[in-house]
């Protein structure tokens, strides 16, 4: 087993025993200990009281973070003719139809978000087994199947974050970079938590929000007080 390095030990020491913090305190600690040589992503994980095996307990949504994510998002758009031109003008990185489908089927997936016009879904639907497991399948519920491709591209490029409860009811996402000012990170964290609360499914019973943890790419995590995180 590899022994933890000095930076790792220091990080664990700094975060040890840090439980039930305010959002502000959690951000302060995580940001202060994000000391890698690259700009670490600040990541949030929420444990929810849902069973994703049941359709009426699925948690899914999208949130435009007030201060963006700090990440460059590569966007692919399935569209034809005028809508393809709109997507290109809006800044889409890849635009195509059957040709793009063939590229993806061949195993080349050089994008982080996939958008499609409604008429393209019969084509995109053939990629379900490829895009689905990567959470890249366009879905009207999160605005990635739309006739307004230009707005969807701009939203994706501007810091929009999609979220979906995974097995065990865990939702996680990047909510900014360590280089962000603390105030901006706090705003992003609170906005994301609010979006997940709003997405509570009708079938959820008992305690919905069970745990909230914040960490950086290379750092240990701290837990956030749920009452503080969800207060208006």
Question: Mean of the pLDDT values across residues 81-86?
Answer: 98
Is 55 within a domain?
yes
Of 8-22, 27-41, 189-203, minimum mean pLDDT range: 8-22
Asked whether residue 138 falls in the same domain as residue 164, the answer is no
* Cβ atoms of 215 and 43 closer than 8 Å: yes
- Please say whether the beta carbons of 112 and 75 come within 8 A: yes
Secondary structure (H, E, C), 122-149: HHHHHHHHHHHHHCCCCCHHHCCECCCH
DSSP strand pairing (209-216 vs 222-223): antiparallel
Strand partners, 163: 61
For residues 172 and 61, membership in a common domain is answered with yes
Domain boundary (125, 157, 189) is at 157
For residues 218, 223, 228, 231, the Cα torsion angle rounded to the nearest 10 degrees is 70
Q: Report d(CA 209, CA 211) in Å as an integer.
A: 6
87: left (phi over 0), alpha (psi -120 to 50) or beta: alpha
Structural domain includes residue 1: no
**Domain end among 157, 174, 189:** 157
Residues with Cβ < 8 Å from 162, sequence gap 6 or more?
60, 61, 62, 113, 135, 142, 144
Q: How far apart are CA 74 and CA 29, in angstroms?
A: 31
DSSP classification of residue 215: E
> Is 152 a member of any domain?
yes
Q: Evaluate if residue 13 carries a pLDDT over 80.
A: no
**Res 9: pLDDT:** 52
Residue 50 lies in a domain: yes
CATH for 138: 3.40.50.790
- Tell me what pLDDT residue 6 has: 52
Indicate if the pLDDT at residue 120 is higher than 90. yes
Predicted pLDDT of residue 5: 54
What does the mean pLDDT of the chain come to?
91
pLDDT digits (tens, 9 = 90+) for 142-195: 999 999 999 999 999 988 999 999 989 999 999 999 999 999 999 999 999 999
Q: In total, how many domains does the chain have? A: 2
Whether residues 89 and 39 share a domain: the answer is no
Domain boundary (106, 127, 157) is at: 157
Residue 196 lies in a domain: yes
The domain in which residue 220 lies consists of 6-69+160-230
Domain contains 48: yes
- Residues 84 and 27 grouped into a single domain: no
- pLDDT above 50 (res 10): no
* 13 and 65 part of one domain: yes
Nearest CA-CA partner of 123 in 157, 96, 147: 96
Mean of pLDDT values over 66-70: 94
Per residue in 98-114, pLDDT (tens digit) is 999 999 999 999 999 99
Query: Same domain for 107 and 221?
Result: no
Residues 164 and 62 in one domain: yes
DSSP one-letter string for 23-43 = HHHHHHHHHHT--SSS-PEEE
| Residue 14 scores a pLDDT above 70 | no
Question: What CATH number does residue 63 fall under?
Answer: 3.30.190.20
151 and 169 together in one domain: no
Global pTM value: 0.81
Q: If we measure between CA atoms, which residue out of 143, 135, 93 comes closest to residue 117? A: 143
Residue 112 located in a structural domain: yes
What is the average pLDDT across 54-63?
Answer: 93
- One domain, residues 153 and 208: no
């Amino acid at each position: 087993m590899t022994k933890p390095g000095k930076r790792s030990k220091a990080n664990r020491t700094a975060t040890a025993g840090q439980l039930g913090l305010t959002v502000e305190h959690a951000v302060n600690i995580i940001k202060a200990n994000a000391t890698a040589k690259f700009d670490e992503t600040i990541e949030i994980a929420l444990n929810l009281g849902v069973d994703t095996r049941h359709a009426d307990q699925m948690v899914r949504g999208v949130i435009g973070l007030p201060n963006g994510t700090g990440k460059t998002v590569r966007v692919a758009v399935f569209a034809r003719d005028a809508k393809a031109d709109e997507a290109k003008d809006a800044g889409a990185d890849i635009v195509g139809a059957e040709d793009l489908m063939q590229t993806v089927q061949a195993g080349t997936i050089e994008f982080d978000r996939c958008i499609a016009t409604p008429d393209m879904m019969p084509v995109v639907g053939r990629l379900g087994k490829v895009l689905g497991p990567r959470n890249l399948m366009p879905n009207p519920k999160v605005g990635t199947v739309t006739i307004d491709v230009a707005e969807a591209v701009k939203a994706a490029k501007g810091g929009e974050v999609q979220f979906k409860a995974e097995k065990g009811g865990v939702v996680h996402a990047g909510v900014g970079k360590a280089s962000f000012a603390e105030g901006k990170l706090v705003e992003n964290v609170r906005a994301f938590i609010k979006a997940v609360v709003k997405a509570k499914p009708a079938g959820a019973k008992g305690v919905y929000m069970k745990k909230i943890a914040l960490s950086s790419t290379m750092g240990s995590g701290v837990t956030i007080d749920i009452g503080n995180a969800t207060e208006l």
